Amino acid sequence: MFGLEKPPGQQKLGRSGGFPNMASVGDFNVLSSSIPATKVELSVSCRNLLDRDTFSKSDPICVLYTQAIGNKEWREFGRTEVIDNTLNPDFVRKFIMDYFFEERENLRFDFYDVDSKSPNLSKHDFLGQMFCTLGEIVGSQGSRLEKPIAGIPGKKCGTVIVTAEELGCCRDSVLMQFCANKLDKKDFFGKSDPFLVFHRSNEDGSFTICHKTEVVKNTLNPVWQAFKISVRALCNGDYDRTQINFTVAIDFTASNGNPSQPTSLHYMNPYQLNAYGMALKAVGEIIQDYDSDKMFPALGFGARLPPDGRVSHEFALNGNPQNPYCHGIDGVMEAYYRSLKSVQLYGPTNFAPVINHVARYAASVKDGSQYFVLLIITDGVISDMAQTKESIVNASKLPMSIIIVGVGPAEFDAMEELDGDVVRISSRGKFAERDIVQFVPFRDYIDRSGNHVLSMARLAKDVLAEIPDQFLSYMRVRGIKPSPAPPPYTPPIHVLQTQI
């Protein structure tokens, strides 16, 4: 699709200046990796930016920064073009980034009103900034994130809209040239100054700008210069979008040790996270970007519950069996610490009840619009091996994956068997339809220098690395093709039945 429109102002600062004049999709690709990754293209638009110019509107530019894992330093990734005289820019220049599902990529978008040809940003007026993660953009409804711009106290700085599209492998390009005849006369004292704007359609029915031609001055019969553009820039990305529903289950058995003692795996250290907390935060902070409502069921197993001391293998950490959902990973962490103060660690260690809990939800949505991930954190001493195997074999037919993080010094032979990387897990003569379990021992990721940020990043990278392939394997087996973004998941009501 393309359209003719009267420019609110032309892009300024030509090739002799500090900023680019013309821009098109794919101009920016400053980072590359030898590790296989999906490439995503970020499109940026703003609405109601601050007006810093006296006799006209601001001339905005967007600057993207990234933050390396374990490093607080922000590094400039790239810049859009400058658009003259507008508070509602739709930037043509895109940011093309490597995207790893299992890694947390922090992003910062800064906006400036460009006042000169200097590339030094301190020479220009700051319009505000927005922080997010790449996963937050990709995981938003329709892979479209809209957030307020902040950074200037007491000022409403407008909003930014960032859209992510997966780039295909097509490397073809096309050469195009356009002309027009007898256009409408828009200028009072002269003829029109026309230019073309191209938009591509998105899966949600909206359109994203992908190319602008030059302006041809004072004519109703323009002939624009020929231009070359990649085919993938003109075609909508085929992103396999789905909603991920994340559930966490934590081992509250007595083998973890008394939480009040420093030797306990559940020790509540006021100065740093324990192993359970680090594993939960590392995985959860990445997964939560793909769950639109950020509400997570948080379960515990193997504890005696107040007031009567009955043993449960499927209890809500927030104490509400009718609504075990916690808001965000911080809410899960708070419920976890609160439970440590109210329940008694006991036993045995049964996995099957929490696996079956998530499987009931997954069984209600088999059309590919939802996918379920269960994170089990345990010290590894499992008591119901036969029942757990059967639960996993049954769950392998459902849209779900299971991540098991083993904490502490125990031998994890049973967990390795559940992982099924060497021998596909089976129960009663039936083999699992898919490999849906990923196990890692937390001790393998402890950084000797004490850098817990790096430990958590490495752990998250490895435990989440198999999730995309497990998701795709379910879709392929079921013959499910990518479809437009689904509505947010509304879970059916399953009141927790306390397992004795």
Per DSSP, the residues of 330-376 read HHHHHHHHHHHHHSEEB-----HHHHHHHHHHHTT--SSSEEEEEEE
Among the listed residues 22, 80, 443, the one whose alpha carbon sits nearest the alpha carbon of residue 212: 22
Phi-psi region of 24 (alpha: psi -120 to 50; beta: other; left: phi over 0): beta
Mean pLDDT of 393-398: 95
pLDDT band at 48 (very low <50, low <70, confident <90, very high): very high
Provide the mean pLDDT of the chain: 82
Contact 210, 200 (CB under 8 A): yes
C-alpha span between 287 and 243 (Å, rounded): 11
Query: Which two structure tokens, joined as six digits, stand for 230?
Result: 């990649």
pLDDT band at 403 (very low <50, low <70, confident <90, very high): very high
Mean pLDDT of 391-398: 95
Between 170 and 264, residue with greater pLDDT: 264
Percent of the chain's residues with pLDDT above 70: 82
* 429-475: pLDDT as tens digits: 999 999 999 998 888 887 777 677 777 777 778 878 888 888 888 98
pLDDT band at 346 (very low <50, low <70, confident <90, very high): very high
Q: Of 291-305, 318-332, 443-457, which range is least confident?
A: 443-457
Between 3 and 204, residue with greater pLDDT: 204
pLDDT band at 326 (very low <50, low <70, confident <90, very high): very high
Phi-psi region of 174 (alpha: psi -120 to 50; beta: other; left: phi over 0): beta
End-to-end CA distance of the chain: 62
pTM of the model: 0.60
pLDDT band at 344 (very low <50, low <70, confident <90, very high): very high
pLDDT at 289 over 80: no
For the ranges 3-17, 102-116, 168-182, 483-497, the one whose mean pLDDT is highest: 102-116
Mean pLDDT of 471-490: 70
Looking only at the bridges linking them, the beta strands covering 159-166 and 173-176 are: unpaired
Q: What confidence score (pLDDT) does residue 500 get?
A: 44
pLDDT band at 37 (very low <50, low <70, confident <90, very high): low
C-alpha span between 311 and 383 (Å, rounded): 14
* 151-208: pLDDT as tens digits: 999 999 999 999 998 776 556 677 778 888 888 877 666 778 888 888 775 555 566 7
